[in-house]
A and B are shown apart, each in its own frame.
Chain A
Amino acid sequence: MTSGLASPVGAAQVPAPMTGKTLALHDLSLALRSGVRGPGAADWLRTQSMPTDLQPNTIENISNGRLLMALSTREFWLLEPDADASAAAPPSAAVATEAWPLYNQHSHAWLVLAGGPKADMMAKLCGVDLRENAFALGQVAQTQMAHISVIVAHHLWRDTPVFSMFVDQSLADFAWTALSDAMSEFRASTD
């Protein structure tokens, strides 16, 4: 637990270091994320000097390791994988006309999958083709994984292509367990 915050991934146990790993699963649930949605969301992004031309279901590295993810023309998530989540009350008041902040810091767990065979592994859990040629860097899929809803985003993190996966925090333990199980046939680590 950091700063009074606890990850919903209760099952996450940091394993002993492993070498030669081909897959790695990280819990970034305590990393910073926020968002905005509503008809005025894109206009508000403009006032924040953020890109407003993102197509729905895409993600873009914007600056300082931050990512902007568009889930529709009126819902945007701002992801900061290398910054810690805030312990302040999540804002609820409109940030601009018809633009409301999201509670995604607390509603969703954030899991990150890295490694070469990540698409093969995900094919055990998810019916969407996540191979590089079908799901390129910058693409986002709002789909299902192991019978639960998930948002999968393909982006670079620390210069490595990864899948960020956002699942309902109450299902984080389940998702972690399902992913760990699916990873078991690959040389994998979870932390």
Chain B
Amino acid sequence: MSPRRLDAPYGQLIDRDSPVEFEFDGELIRGYRGDSVVSALLGEDRWLISRSFKYHRPRGPLSLAGHDANTLVQTPRAPNQLAEDLDAQDQEIVSGQNFLGSLRADRYALLDRLGRFLPVGFYYRAFFKPRGIWRYWEAFIRKTAGLGVANLRVKPRYSDKQYLFCDVAVVGAGPAGISAALTAAAGGAEVLLIDENPYTGGALTYHRFGLEDVTREHMLAQLRSSLAAAANIRVLSGATCNAWFSDHYLPVFQGERLLKVRANTCILATGSSEQPVVFRNNDVPGIVLCSALERLLLHHGVCPEGPAVVLAGNDDAYLTALTAIDAGLTLAAVVDMRPATDNPALAAALAERGVTCYFNATVYEAHEDASGLRLGSVDVYNIETAGQVGALTARIECQLLAMSAGLMPAYQLACHGGAKLEYVDEKAAFALTQLPEGMLLAGGVNSIHTLEAVCADGRNAGRQALRALSRPADDDEAVECALRVNHPWPIFKHPRGREFVDFDEDLQVKDIINSARLGYRDIQLVKRYSTVGMGPSQGRHSALTTARLIAQATDRTVSETGVTTARPPVKPEPLGLLAGRRFHPVRKTPLDSRHRALGAHMIPAGSWRRPAFYGKPSQRTACIAAEAQAVRTGVGIIDVSTLGGIDLRGPDAAEFLNRIYTYGFLKQPVGKTRYAVLTSEQGVVVDDGVAARLADEHFYVTATTTGVDRVYRDMLRWNAQWRLSVDIAQVTSAYSAVNVAGPRSRDVLESAGCDLDLSAEAFPYLACREACVGGIPVRIMRVGFVGELGYELHVPSLMAQSLWDRLLSAGAAFDIKPFGVETQRLLRLEKGHIIVGQDTDGMSHPGEVGLEWAISRKKPFFVGRRSVEILMAQPLKRQLVGFSLSVHAPQPKEGHLVIRSGDIVGNVTSCEVSATLNQIVGLAYVHPDDALPGCDITIRTDDAVCVQATVVALPFYDPQNERQAL
């Protein structure tokens, strides 16, 4: 065992039978299972952990609770890890960060001597003069900025999220939190007890609450035993509640999981943050908070090298001194900033142990030892008035200084809920008020500090929670706490500065005062100007001092000044945990496995995956050409299951359709389809499809893949007003669909066992039927989207695979070839069909895109009619036309600009190389004067190369429409 390690009962958290090792800055560090990286380092008398942010001053631990930025270290996985939160057993290599050279000899430490040139907010006023200088500064700043090195090759850990539900969430498992949880649970509530530490008990695990440390362990054991016996309490240890959101929604981080807690009521038993004393060099390694020394002794069994000094602003610091003496630490003196202790027995107890007490005195300056990296001595001065000292009383050689200026409620979560932290200047006491409904406080956060009162306060909170849940509860106990824990002015400005207010940001007393002098009177503006409270500590140790300094500088009280706003998160949180397990829903058609088996190259289409073509991406052009040729000369089959489908059923189905779409549908015969265009109320084309009348009161309407949800939503919205007798059902998923297209498609269907007369006379172009193919029920529509004889078969989805297999099997004799969506886009382009959303935009009205014919001017109303009429009555500003150019010309791409006399007049919306036509063909918006066939247009392609294309009449292919009507 290391000579600095104490025997039990010290070192509750470590397992002395399980030694661990890791490397810190090239040195082997030995500790025990249960040690943090910091406690293991301190066990080896290594106090230099990091370098400060701005001045690169040597820094060691302050709180030992993971509540400050003094122990930020680098691990191979990530920078900026709080060494107090890192388990030593999990580490192999840990190093310091933010230095040039080595942690011990940081060449950037020169900045500490240049402090006078780096006043608060200097970066707002520097680096930009003389003109052009910034680029030189930028290179330097980018090189020096940032802490640590991000490992860009790190493999992400698996992290996820989970909801947790409870009646009462208790944050903080100290004596108050446990008492509250036990009371609420005894009343029948389901309780979640959350604590950031890997153990329960809070301050009971390290702090003595009286002169004789006899009740602490007994009470801790009792509370833990009761917790274990309570069936309806779930304890979350090692879990950080990082925020409070409306309705008691609490994000809690535990390991690699973000727990999203939903509670009916919330009890905050988060305790308080011990405050440092502000004096010159109060950041030298070896200067810690009193609670940190207690943790070090009781949790980790590390007894630091002495002698030590305790700097007291309250009676609690005396208890720390007694604990330290009992542990064997040599205590050189207690320096008390007050004239006397509130409890005289404490001073007497120290006197009995031969400890010198200096009253009405303070440490005014700390000095490093010969190494410059560790505390060597402190200068003790008499206090004359608040913040003013008299003569030097003593210089005390010491390696450790434990200080306590007071306790500030851990107010962050309450403030997230809108609570106000009030400060009573006369008593130097805090009160949290204006709590949100259902939020309760218990213990230290409620400014209750004696052990009995803390537990009673916890029980009261548990009872109030029960009442909030409409459960019976006993009357509250009377709770009083007269303990004065805060020194009113533990700030001692030094002529040579370096009295640190904010350790994270290296802000000194003068920085805060100068902010006020520069006109930033409001505490929130001071925060923004000086960055005080913006570091990882989030103002835990700086907010009160800042408020006091600003109050003094602006001649106000602290309560008038207030403290900076606390916002989530309470502690730094990894972005990976916020991301959690990522869900990217991908929709697949029932034929997905078939496409993959056929070697399809799959691409996203909205939220779906669809085959682009079948074959290797490297052979894209050849694959598409072969598929297109099969459709043009033989037969092809494409999965169009992503097409939207909506069933309209009821007596008013035709009337409803007639109002929604631009065309007339009242007289549409049963067994026929009609093209359906949907315009918005602004007259813009927003969707299109085909409406098939399957029965007098039954229409089956298709919509675009990405537009169907909007169409369905709009239909529901409109009928909420119209109240027509029609059922509107989204059947996109209920029906899958395939399109069999090509001159041999009729042969394939007949061979597959279609029970219809498929002749052109019996089943003509644009007809629709319900039939069976080999016993599989289908809705069949004769469509011509790709410009060939074609049948669109809509099949109940569970039967889609059977139908596909049957068609492919029957089609084998006709050399049927599956084709993908990119081939389909080429084929429909050759036929001059537009795709809404690709060839239209948010301004396209029917007149611009050649859909005048699809507008019924006879019916009194359709959605968007008034706007369509207005728009189409105006001269066109652009027009969608077909264009062609030589296959040897540079191919325009979608989005390329159409130029006219140097001005942009339009853009290309579709363009493909057509092997069938041996041309490049496309659609583009052009100036109306250039819209006639034969006009030349100029398209600016890649690298600003302009090509001349010729406007041609649509369609490019089969202008007589003979092939689709075969």
Contact = CB atoms under 8 A, between A and B. Distances in A.
A76 to B, nearest CB: 14
B620 interface: no
User: How big is chain A's contact interface, by range?
Assistant: 35 or more
A107 B797 CA distance: 7
B590 A169 contact: yes
A168 interface: yes
B583 A147 contact: yes
Nearest to A146: B583
Interface string A94-125: 10001010111111100000000000100110
A25 B315 CA distance: 61
B650 A98 contact: yes
A129 B797 contact: no
B769 to A, nearest CB: 13
Nearest to A181: B581
A89 B796 contact: yes
Interface stretch (B62-70, B273-281, B694-702, B874-882): B694-702
B727 interface: yes
Interface in A1-40: 1, 4-8, 10, 29-30, 37-38
Given A94-B650, A129-B163, A168 B587 contact: yes
Interface string B576-608: 000001010111111011000000000000001
Interface string B217-254: 00000000000000000000000000000000000000
A90 interface: yes
B857 to A, nearest CB: 33
Contacts of A89: 770, 772, 777, 796
B260 A127 contact: yes
Interface string A58-91: 0000000000000000000000000001011110
A37 B697 CA distance: 16
Nearest to B160: A124
A100 B734 contact: no
A148 interface: yes
B164 A123 contact: yes
Contacts of B165: 123, 129, 131, 134
A94 B593 CA distance: 35
A32 B777 CA distance: 17
Interface in A129-145: 129, 131, 133-134
Interface stretch (B478-486, B495-503, B798-806): B798-806
A93 B770 CA distance: 13
Q: Which of A102, A120, A169 has the most CB of B within 10 A?
A: A169
B734 A103 contact: yes
B905 interface: no
B695 to A, nearest CB: 7
Contact of B163 (A29, A105, A127, A181): A127
B434 interface: no
Nearest to B596: A10
Contacts of A98: 650, 725, 727
B468 to A, nearest CB: 18
A35 B608 CA distance: 27
A182 B798 CA distance: 27
Contacts of A10: 588, 592-593
Given A106-B798, A170-B587, A92 B694 contact: yes
A170 B588 contact: yes
Interface string B664-705: 000000000000000000000000000000110110000000
A127 to B, nearest CB: 6
A171 B798 contact: no
Given A98-B725, A129-B163, A105 B585 contact: no
A171 B799 contact: no
B883 to A, nearest CB: 37
Contacts of A6: 590, 798-802
Contacts of A170: 587-589, 608, 641, 732-733
A67 B162 CA distance: 30
B647 A171 contact: no
A30 B583 contact: no
Contact of B798 (A5, A123, A134, A178): A5
Nearest to B260: A127
Given A93-B698, A98-B727, A174-B586, 17 more contacts: A6-B799, A6-B801, A6-B802, A8-B798, A10-B592, A89-B796, A98-B725, A103-B735, A106-B797, A106-B798, A124-B162, A124-B163, A129-B165, A169-B590, A170-B608, A170-B732, A174-B588
15 contacts: A1-B801, A1-B802, A6-B590, A6-B800, A6-B801, A87-B775, A89-B777, A90-B796, A92-B649, A94-B650, A103-B735, A106-B799, A107-B734, A124-B163, A127-B163
Interface of A: 1, 4-8, 10, 29-30, 37-38, 85, 87-90, 92-94, 98, 100, 102-108, 120, 123-124, 126-127, 129, 131, 133-134, 146-148, 168-171, 173-174, 178, 181-182
